[in-house]
Amino acid sequence: MDKTTYRTPQVPLHSGFEGASTAADVIKEIDLSGKTAIVTGGYAGIGAETTRVLAAAGAKVIVPARDTHKAAATLSGIQGVTIAKMDLMDPASVDAFAAQFLAGGQPLHLLINSAGIMAPPLTRDSRGIESQFATNHLGHFQLAVRLWPALVQAAGARIVALSSWGHRYSPVIFDDISFENREYDPWKAYGQSKTANVLFAVEADRRGKDAGIRAFAVHPGSIVSTDLTRYMSEDQLKKMGALDQDGKPVIDPARQLKTIEQGAATSIWCAVSPQLEGKGGVYCENADISPVIESDGTQGSNDLSLRKASSAFGVFPYAIDAENAVRLWEVSEQLTGVKLQ
């Protein structure tokens, strides 16, 4: 397969934004009236800010939630937001949510896959699949494929998959995705799932672009004040350099250590920016397309002090490899039993 025939080059656009730009900055003067968005994880951290900003711009936002009571409390008072039950680890739940949405007959303009878990103890879903791969990738894969008719109906939809700088912890290990034949490493499992998010965007874009569906993968930055760190102790976060010695978040946008408002910026940019018209299948950070990087001395380590100030940390080649993307899509079809019609 010719890898250059359908992948937008990973070349920065020099968008005019930076690490300190916020979601409110990148959506200025954009009117989303009449648009419908689904934001997974849209009631916590970056996802909640994404929901708030999209709704403020006029979008109707649907937030699927495993904990609907928490979602209702977090999103109380935000106009234009609807909460529905869904658990990404439960395939039947994903199908039920998608079926309910499709039954309404409405187009879906934006699908933002913001939910995720990071570095939990080894857990498997009912199929035996490791929980980070099941939640961060497979649940979102199934959701996107089930919602595909509504995305096509929008005639200009965008999918945004939240990946991470952490994709450099591991490529997808196709021969042992669920750690059945190797020792479980929570960070390698996280990295594998984040690489899968990028590969998903590459292949979703290839399959969808003729129908007007474009897909993007996002590194939001490292935001310590979210639920994503719930499996980590304060001492671990200090050792990583995410918290200072007083236990306060280290905020340094030049190294992509961000606030929640800054962290949501790239998701929003990928979802709504006219700068990305005609583009897709790329990995983005700091509200711009990232360059490709072969190595930077940080892979395999979650020590944030190793990061140097940079406008872009880049994406590793294995995460945007078209053959890997096709293989992952096919494996995901096999694991979920879900295919595009």
CB neighbours of 244 closer than 8 A, spacing ≥ 6?
238, 250
3-state secondary structure 1-32: CCCCCCCCCCCCCCCCCCCCCCHHHHCCCCCC
Partners of 206 in beta bridges: none
Hunting for tokens 């990232």 — which residue is that?
290
What is the C-alpha R_g of the chain? 18
CB neighbours of 84 closer than 8 A, spacing ≥ 6?
62, 63, 64, 65, 68, 97, 100, 101
Q: Cite the beta strand spans of the chain per DSSP E.
A: 36-40, 60-65, 81-85, 110-113, 158-162, 214-219, 282-285, 288-289
Q: Nearest-CA neighbor of 43 among 66, 84, 74, 79? A: 74
**H or E element at residue 324:** helix 322-336
Q: Looking at this protein, which amino acid is placed at residue 213?
A: I
> If you ran DSSP here, which 8-state letter would residue 82 be given?
E
Q: Nearest-CA neighbor of 61 among 37, 83, 40, 84? A: 37
Catalytic residue among 190, 231, 283, 318: 190
Tell me whether residue 231 is one of the annotated catalytic residues. Answer: no
- The answer to whether residues 44 and 227 touch, using CB atoms and an 8 Å cutoff, is yes
Q: Which residues are catalytic?
A: 190
